Structure 1
Amino acid sequence: MPVVRSEHAPVHEVHNARFISLIRPDVGSCELCVWRTEVAPGSQGVPHRILGEEAFVLLSGAVGMLIDGESALLAPGDAAIAPAGSVIALSNAGAEPAVLLVTVRRGFAAELPDGSTFVPPWAS
C-alpha cells in the first residue's frame, strides 16, 4: 500500500506559495495528483489559465479565489472547483498562511501570462 508521509513529500516554492506534493504518479497514482498548498500571508497570486479541472478545499486560514473574473473569499471547510480553461488566482490578505488541499488529474498544465506552458512538478 503506497503511503506518503507528509515529512517526506517533495516541497516546491513558487510565487509566494509552497506546494507539498502528496499523491502523484511516482508514488503509485495512475490518474490523480493531490497536494497541499500554503499561500503566504499578504500575497497576491499570478493569474494563469488552467488546462485541466482543478479542485480546492481550504483547510485553514482564509484565501481569496478568483475564477474567470469572479471572486470569493473561502473560509476553512469551503471548496471551489475551477473548470478547465478558466483563469484563476489565489490571494491571501490575512496575517497567517492559508492552507489548501488541491487535486487535479495527472498531466495537468497551466498557461502563464507570457503564453508559456507550465507543467507543475507536483502534478506530473
Structure 2
Amino acid sequence: MPVIRAAETVVHEMHNTRFTAMVRPGTGSTELCVWRIEIAPGTVGVAHTIHREEAFVVLSGTAILTIDGEASPVEVGDAAVANAGSIISLTNPGADPATLLVTTSVGFTGELPDGTIVNPPWVN
C-alpha cells in the first residue's frame, strides 16, 4: 500500500495560499488528486474557472467559498463541491489561517480572469 509521508510532501505558494501536494500522479495516483490549502488571514480569493469538479472540506478556521457568484461561509467540518466550469474563489476574512482539504481528478486545470491557463504543480 503506497503511503505518502507528510515529510515527503511538496509545498507551493500562490495568491497568499500554501498548497501542500499529497495525492497526485507524482506520488503514484492515476485518477485522484488531494491537497491541503492554508489560506492566510485577510486573503481575498482570486476568482478562477475550474475545468474539473473540485470538492472541499474545512479542517480549521473559516473561509468564504464563492461559486458562480454565490458566496457562502464555510467552517470546520463543512464540505462543498464545485462543478467543472464553475467560477470559484476562497477568501479568508478572519484573523487566523483557514485550512481545507481539496480533491479533484487528475488532469485538473484552471483559468484566471486574464485567460491564463494554470496547470498547478500540486496536481501533477
Q: TM-score range by the shorter chain?
A: over 0.9
Segments of 4+ in structure 1 off by > 2 A? Answer: none
CA drift at 1:123: 1.0
Taking the aligned partners of 2:27 and 2:14, their CA distance within structure 1 comes to 22
SS of match in other structure, 2:85: coil
**Number of equivalent positions:** 124
Deviations 1:67-111 (A, max 9, x none): 000010001000010000000000001111000000000010001
**For residues 97-112 of structure 1, what are the structure 2 equivalents within 5 Å?**
97-112=97-112
Root mean square deviation, CA, Å: 0.7
SS of match in other structure, 1:49: strand
TM-score normalised by length of structure 1 = 0.98
Which residue does the alignment assign to 2:82? 82
**Aligned residue identity for 1:77:** G
**For residues 22-101 of structure 1, what are the structure 2 equivalents within 5 Å?**
22-101=22-101
Identity value in percent: 56
SS of match in other structure, 2:95: coil
Taking the aligned partners of 2:79 and 2:24, their CA distance within structure 1 comes to 21
Which residue does the alignment assign to 2:16? 16
**Aligned residue identity for 1:104:** T
CA drift at 1:7: 2.3
**Aligned residue identity for 1:44:** V
Taking the aligned partners of 1:6 and 1:97, their CA distance within structure 2 comes to 19
Q: What residue ranges of structure 1 are gaps of 5+ in the alignment? A: none
CA drift at 1:2: 1.3
Taking the aligned partners of 2:118 and 2:48, their CA distance within structure 1 comes to 10
**Aligned residue identity for 2:11:** V
Taking the aligned partners of 1:50 and 1:27, their CA distance within structure 2 comes to 23
Q: What residue ranges of structure 2 are gaps of 5+ in the alignment? A: none
Which residue does the alignment assign to 2:4? 4
SS of match in other structure, 2:3: coil
CA drift at 1:14: 0.2
